[in-house]
A = this chain, B = another copy of it.
């Protein structure tokens, strides 16, 4: 059994890693930390795991922790992660970082969108943890930067079209909608139930969301040239789920069947991507709680646009599930070990 630890396990991302590790057949969760809840039992905060996990939160003490686990999930906010990750790597541990701190290859881009980086030399070592694109590199990585939730849906949705040159890389629009757990478990007026129930709105409109450079980094690679996207995130009144509706101008006419074949063959080996047949549309309720990304494809022939819809559970394929998938690859396990959860519907 592989011993794993979670740094920052009291948020939604960290606790979801715990949920998934609790029934992983080849890994054991051996330690969880939380600065603010040290000493408290995990199942007092997360009753759904009662009986599954007999651990209490601890302070983050790298030396002591290093003896108890070989792989670490770092689920603290960006800017904090860049201080913790180097300590774990220095102790010879493998690290999957769920923050944004090691996702961008370019230090300057990072610093433009976030704040100064204190561990920039790790940017080159970190592997972008999207297994469908970087499976091989992840297999030998010491540090994996787990992708953002929005980027996961956008990149999986667009990469085949860009790689095959189906669409004009100018003119891409990503209209994304996320469940509210994406805002994290920190208390805030904006995340209150009564503020959101029956509600819906966009936020950070006009090219302001920090996931933009991450999306552009990966789509530019796929396109073979630097591109820019319009990205508008919205807040759905659900707990979990992201649906990205993506618009891109088609270069040439293409049939639904051709499109399906191209995507199907691109993701042929990828267990966690389900390309839906023509006429089918992904729904977030069909991936809820699972590690799948469902992709739907349609052509608007009146305007010659490709419209891609991509659905994931933001806490699973968009965070913790993808992190487990990365752990599996880094540890030589089957990619889907511990990720057999069927989506919960209804």
- A residues apposed to B, CB below 8 Å: 12, 19, 22-23, 46-52, 171, 173, 175, 177, 179-181, 185, 187-189, 191-203, 205-207, 212, 228-230, 232, 234, 236-241, 243, 245, 247, 271, 274, 276, 280-290, 292, 294, 296, 298-303, 305, 307, 309, 311, 315, 340-346
Inter-subunit contact A206/B307 (CB<8 Å): yes
Inter-subunit contact B234/A245 (CB<8 Å): yes
Give complex CA distance A201, B47 in Å.
12
Q: Which residues of B contact A187 (CB under 8 A)?
A: 187-189, 192
Inter-subunit contact A52/B201 (CB<8 Å): no
- Partner of A229 from the list B185, B287, B301, B303 (CB cut-off 8 Å) is B303
- Partner of A171 from the list B171, B294, B298, B346 (CB cut-off 8 Å) is B171
Inter-subunit contact A281/B205 (CB<8 Å): yes
Inter-subunit contact A238/B237 (CB<8 Å): yes
* 6 cross-chain pairs, A with B, having the tightest CB-CB distances, nearest first: A199-B285, A206-B298, A48-B343, A194-B346, A201-B283, A48-B345
Inter-subunit contact A200/B177 (CB<8 Å): yes
Q: Which residues of B contact A46 (CB under 8 A)?
A: 345
Give complex CA distance A255, B201 in Å.
23
Identity of the chain B residue whose Cβ is nearest the Cβ of A206 in the assembled complex: B298
